[in-house]
Amino acid sequence: MRKIILLMHVSLDGFVAGPSGAMDWIRVSEEMFDTVGKLTDNADAALYGRKTYQMMDSYWPTAADQPNASKHDIEHSQWYKKVEKLVISNSLKDTNAANTRFIGNDVASEIKQIKGQPGGTILMIGSPSTYHELAAHNLVDEFWLFLNPILIGTGIPLFNNINHKIDLKLLQTNSLPSGVIGLHYEKV
């Protein structure tokens, strides 16, 4: 059975974005990119909500082609182009998008079906609204949370719409020089 791993930045007070979706408070570093690179190496699918997909798709297909492309840009661009993209959206239906499947009806049922198919890890990067929808159906198996040393006070909460207890086991911590702490949990 395939598993879904959520990869998300979170503020110390539990928000994944500011009130208008602002993410200018997120601290990124080469060490964090190395951690993400190990996750993408083991994932053969990416799961996005519409907004995150549009943001990712506007950058990653050509990121490696830029003259100042970083090691992370090159590696992530190569992964993005080859990985199967699963996009949760009621409005997007682009059938010409390479390696992309749009899911709009009965999301929980379709994701359960996909998880039951052969394949590797499904990496869910960002997409808080989609996470909230999947969490309501207990469909996320692991969490890689990058805890940023900041309080933003208000915004989009990480945990919303969870109506059941979820026991977690800490698998790994990664303290980065930027002050960000990577926390890897799995459901028990």
Q: Are 82 and 41 in contact (CB under 8 A)?
A: no
**98 Cβ neighbours under 8 A, 6+ residues apart:** 81
What are φ and ψ of residue 3, in 5° steps? -120, 155
pLDDT at 95: 67
Q: What is the CA radius of gyration of the chain?
A: 16
Cα–Cα distance measured from residue 17 to residue 23, given in angstroms and rounded to the nearest whole number: 5
Over the chain, what HEC string results? CCCEEEEEEEECCCEEECCCCCCCCCCCCHHHHHHHHHHHHCEEEEEEEHHHHHHHHHHHHHHCCCCCCCHHHHHHHHHHHHCEEEEECCCCCCCCCCCEEEECCCHHHHHHHHHCCCCCEEEEECCHHHHHHHHCCCCCCEEEEEEECCCCCCCEECCCCCCCCCCEEEEEEEECCCCCEEEEEEEC
Each residue's pLDDT tens digit, 90-132: 888 766 788 999 998 899 999 999 999 999 999 999 899 899 9
Domains of the chain: 4-187 (3.40.430.10)
pLDDT value at 162 more than 90: no
Each residue's pLDDT tens digit, 35-59: 888 888 889 999 999 999 999 999 9
pLDDT at 52: 92
Q: What is the pTM of this model?
A: 0.92
Q: Are 147 and 180 in contact (CB under 8 A)?
A: yes
pLDDT at 140: 95
Each residue's pLDDT tens digit, 76-94: 999 999 999 999 998 887 6
